[in-house]
Chains A and B, each alone.
Chain A
Amino acid sequence: MTNEKPEGRILIRFLPALTGLARRGLAGWAILIGSAIVAVVGVITVTSPWISPHDPIAINVGPILSPPSFEFPLGTNHLGQDMLSRVYCGGAIMFQVAIISVIVCLVVGVPVGLFASYAGGHIDQLASLVMDSIYAFPGLVLAIAIAAMLGPGVVNMALSIAVVYVPSYFRIVRSQVLTIKELPYVEAARMMGARRSAILFSYILPNVIASVAAVATINFADAILTAAGLTFVGLGLPVSIPDWGWDLTYGRRLLTSGAWWVITFPGIMVVLLALGFTLMGEGLSELLNPRLQK
């Protein structure tokens, strides 16, 4: 898509931008479909208080462990809770945890990456050493350790996930900064006496944003999967909050007695949401960097 007016009116370009994306091949489609999935799940979650037929945490609204039926389209679980309502409402926690952890990662990883790699020298080496050590540590185990340390809670879970993924942001930012730092026009700016912070924010940051955005969307997906994983290992939230991760964890035990619906539907939702974000992220990174190798 050609664009003759770089200065703005981006919002007016919204629809053409979308179709423009579609014409960018598979990557564009990936972004569109991914965003659509995320949007749908998001809308369901946001409207869940109004569209849920029952209170997701009210017990005994239906017979215990009944299979999907007219009255309870997704069945009921072992406490007689309506699975449909739980599926509608369970995403809220996932979104919360994912958003908080991404924000923390951005707030911590990007500035540290920018300053450390721009400064170079010992600061850079130290930061790299620390980040590499965290990166080398098995991710889930680290998250488990920190989650166990902080205790249950949305913010705590988000923090433990954030700690695991900050090094990824750091690395991406650092590799970008190292490349851009040496470019002629940056050097020119430096020689003309521009302040360091000005250089960072006007030159380097905008070019870094693109890659960071790609990492951030994949981070969303990872955060959701890790949050589910933490709940699976027992470090989740109290049971009074409807949560897909909890249903996945508990639903395991019900499989041997034939109750397949408790684990299946929340699982599909988690997969959909993670898939949506992953598609967006992969599409983005493909678009920005067609031969991006991990």
Chain B
Amino acid sequence: MTLRSYVVARLLLTIPMIMLLLTFVFLVIRVLPGDPASLHFEKQVDPQMLMEFKRTLGLDKPIEVQYLDYLAGLLRGDFGKSMQDFSPVSQQIFSAFPATLELAIFSTIIMILVGVVLGTQASRSYNSLQDHSIRVFGIASYAIPVFFLGEVMIMVFAIYLHLFPAGDRLYPGVTPMGLTFGTLHLETGLYTVDSILEGNLSKLVMSLRYLFLPSLTLGTVLSGIFIRLTRANMLETLQLDFVTAGRARGLRERTVVYGYALRNAFLPILTMMGLQFAALLAGAVLTETTFSWPGLGRYLVDRISFRDYTAIQGVVVFFGLLVAMVSLVVDVTYAYLDPRIRY
């Protein structure tokens, strides 16, 4: 199979997976006790009123019709309107997504930095105290509940030391505006990028300050896997001939390790990074709740408590597509970079 047909096959496979996901969520949320219509009323008992309201939400139709209607809307690109405040779900998702994306990007950076550097160091000093402590750290960091670590960070750095803010993501009024060039307005929603586009250094610094604690928390907790992966791969690679050759030629140890060995061991790390990134995007719920980070995870949890069917379905489909896309890109990059692999 060539690369092209592999990509096509994967893209096609995505469709039944999304369908399965959608069907599953569609049914599950309708089984949840309580429904979005009744949440709008405090004292209403008139069944006719309730029925009429259900009609405006489209909930009076039989479930198959609701399903097909939703599907038809999706194919048109319409995620429907929220059952809570009637504004378009796609708008809400796209206003929440950049926050999650930015958090994911910076957490990945920290995850990779911590994981790869520590893992490499551990592999260099095999079976030493440094190696063992790094390995223990790798395991321990995974065992800490992310929200507990987050709370400890908040407690120490925000409440006692006042070094970093305790949550939220900047406040309105200092939101970076991105680049405005005549009538062209470029705004990514990623505050760091937008402040650079705007050329505003203080906003950049502030965005980074707000980002620091949440990314550090999430990045630390997930770095354990990378520590172990890097260490294992590096241990193998460091024994290979070309590394010994490099050393024999008198290259500095650091060049040998980072320049030669790491580069070759990097491929599986890259794959894992891609997979973790997708998981980050999809599952930063706890971090977002702890740090009051207004991202998709928190949005989803809020919407579940509102039983906002359209919003929940929209987010799940969005997640599914995102994860499928990212894993596809990762797999293709892997296949591209490693000539040994062909599908």
Contact = CB atoms under 8 A, between A and B. Distances in A.
Chains A, B in direct contact (C-beta < 8 Å): yes
Nearest to B31: A149
A85 to B, nearest CB: 20
B283 A271 contact: no
Nearest to A225: B145
A148 to B, nearest CB: 5
Nearest to A25: B127
Given A138-B282, A144-B301, A256-B159, A270 B32 contact: no
Contact of A233 (B20, B144, B285): B285
Nearest to A133: B20
B interface majority secondary structure: helix
A291 interface: yes
B92 interface: no
B40 interface: no
A225 B286 CA distance: 11
Contacts of A291: 232
B29 interface: yes
Contacts of B300: 141
A115 interface: no
Given A133-B17, A145-B29, A255 B145 contact: no
Contacts of B144: 271, 274-275
Interface in B117-162: 132, 135, 139-140, 142-145, 147-148, 151-152, 154-155, 159
A13 interface: no
A26 B132 contact: yes
Interface in B297-331: 297, 300-301, 304-305, 316, 319-320, 323-324
A179 B16 CA distance: 28
Interface residues of A, number: 46
B279 interface: yes
B229 A229 contact: no
A129 B25 contact: no
A213 B2 CA distance: 39
B143 A278 contact: yes
A151 B29 contact: no
A232 interface: yes
A260 interface: yes
A137 B33 contact: no
Contacts of B140: 271, 275, 278
A82 interface: no
B72 to A, nearest CB: 22
B289 A232 contact: yes
A138 B279 CA distance: 7
Contacts of B316: 141
Nearest to B228: A294
A42 interface: no
Tell me whether chain A's interface is mostly helix, strand or loop, or mixed. helix
Contacts of A293: 229, 232, 268
Contacts of A270: 145, 148
A260 B135 CA distance: 30
Contacts of A258: 159
Contacts of B225: 294
B289 A233 contact: yes
Interface string B1-38: 00000000000000011001100110011011100000
Interface in A166-204: none
Contacts of B20: 129-130, 133
A129 B323 CA distance: 16
Nearest to B23: A133
B139 A232 contact: no
A248 B304 contact: no
Contacts of B155: 255, 260, 263
A228 interface: yes
19 contacts: A129-B16, A141-B285, A141-B297, A149-B32, A149-B33, A228-B147, A248-B145, A248-B147, A255-B151, A255-B159, A256-B159, A267-B148, A271-B143, A271-B144, A274-B144, A275-B143, A291-B232, A293-B268, A294-B228
Given A137-B24, A139-B283, A144-B301, 5 more contacts: A146-B28, A228-B147, A255-B154, A255-B155, A267-B152
Interface of A: 26, 30, 129-130, 132-133, 136-141, 144-146, 148-149, 151, 221, 225, 228-229, 232-234, 248, 251-252, 255-256, 258, 260, 263-264, 267, 270-271, 274-275, 277-279, 282, 291, 293-294
Q: Which 3 A-B pairs have the closest CB atoms?
A: A138-B282, A274-B143, A275-B143
